[in-house]
Amino acid sequence: TEGTTMKMDKAKVENCIAKTRAFYDTKAVGCALLKVKNIATLPSPALSLTDYTFPDDVYKYLDARAQCTIERLARAELADDTVPAEGPWYGIAEHTAFLGGRVDYESDTSWHYAMLDAPGELEKLAMDENNPVFRMVNGGIAYLREKYSDYFLPMVRGASGALEMANTLRGNDFFYDFYEEPEDLKALLDYCADALVWNYEKQMEAAGDVYGGVVTGFGEWLPGRGLGHVSEDTTTMISLEQFEEFGRPRTERIFRKFDEVFIHMHALSERCLASVASLPNIRLMELSSDPNTDRAVEVWKRSREKLTRVIPVLRLTRAEIESNMDLLKSQKTVVWYDAACMEDAQDMCALFARELPVR
């Protein structure tokens, strides 16, 4: 499958990065970047994590992942704004398992078992570069970068925020800690914030400089020392007051160590959006839709007056794009799109070029 036709078009990639940079820099509204995420009639080949034994099969798995990416990039010659990039991915566990503990794999994700019987047990955790999960992620980024640099750009894995890390390390008892052991919980959150920065900086080191920036864990390029994605999913389950006291000081400390941030949030976190958006250095805020609540674009519209410092990243349907064209023309937006077929994807690219150009 390794034909010259499948190699990355460097000029096209440079244009894509230049357009992304111009999009960030422009003061004009009515500009958007379009990322076609899936094409229903051209499904991406799916790998099952349970077909591999980790860490033994890590390179075999990464080679298979790279081949899937090369095939996907080759079949979809689209004029959208997707940066061709790939990185290691072994499920959700790697956001905390680099500190130790047991991991189980399922076909499409992984689980990290709670390690701490109390929030004060920091001695059970270790920032160790020899940890197998740390090596799978950071060594994996370096491996893909060295072996496949003609085919796609290196991509980091991203991070779970400090609250989310503490939740994973403690399990559901985490939610009692706010009331029963608040000071120990704050010490654990401080540790998680430091560990996040340590691990993410190692990821950036492994990826190297990518056109003066970083391709973040969800594929969005950020200039400079870009941090992304960082998820604040725990804000779906706690009060604004709890976020302000426990989460915000750690998240702020993390964000101040980077130039730009891509943050992943959920529509269910509506009560915390304004607080999160006021944190320093956020460039992009992705708002995911959730079951049993309003679609992300509706939540965004309700909150947008308080979120003017961030650019939204929204996964929109064709109907949502068409009915919200006035909204898109009044702001800057990154749109993720799942196309029905190739014709639909191409038509959407043409619509964005015509109606929402970067200028």
* Tens digit of each residue's pLDDT, the chain (359 residues): 444 447 899 999 999 999 999 999 999 999 999 999 999 998 888 899 999 999 999 999 999 999 999 988 887 678 999 999 999 999 999 999 999 999 999 999 999 999 999 999 999 999 999 999 999 999 999 999 999 999 999 999 999 999 999 999 999 999 999 999 999 999 999 999 999 999 999 999 999 999 999 999 999 999 999 999 999 999 999 999 999 999 999 999 999 999 999 999 999 999 999 999 999 999 999 999 988 889 999 999 999 999 999 999 999 999 999 999 999 999 999 999 999 999 999 999 999 999 999 98
Alpha helices in the chain (DSSP H): 10-25, 58-75, 132-147, 162-170, 174-180, 182-207, 240-242, 248-255, 273-277, 296-303, 318-323, 325-328, 342-355
Whole-number Å distance between alpha carbons of 314 and 23:
16
Contacts of 179 (CB under 8 A, 6+ apart): none
Q: How far apart are CA 317 and CA 354, in angstroms?
A: 18
Buried b (16+ CB within 10 A) or exposed e, 269-295: bbebbebbbebebbbbbbbbbeeeeeb
Burial class (CB in 10 A: 0-12, 13-18, 19+), 207: buried
Q: Any bridge partners for residue 210, and if so which?
A: 213
* Predicted local distance difference test score (pLDDT) of residue 246: 98
Give the closest residue to 300 by CA, choosing from 309, 312, 317, 292: 312
CA distance 259 to 255: 8
Residues 6+ apart with CB under 8 A from 340: 39, 40, 41
pTM score over 0.75: yes
CA-based torsion, 58, 61, 11, 33: positive or negative: negative
Report phi then psi at 168, rounded to 5: -65, -45
- Looking at residue 2, its pLDDT comes to 45
Tokens matching residue 145: 């970068």
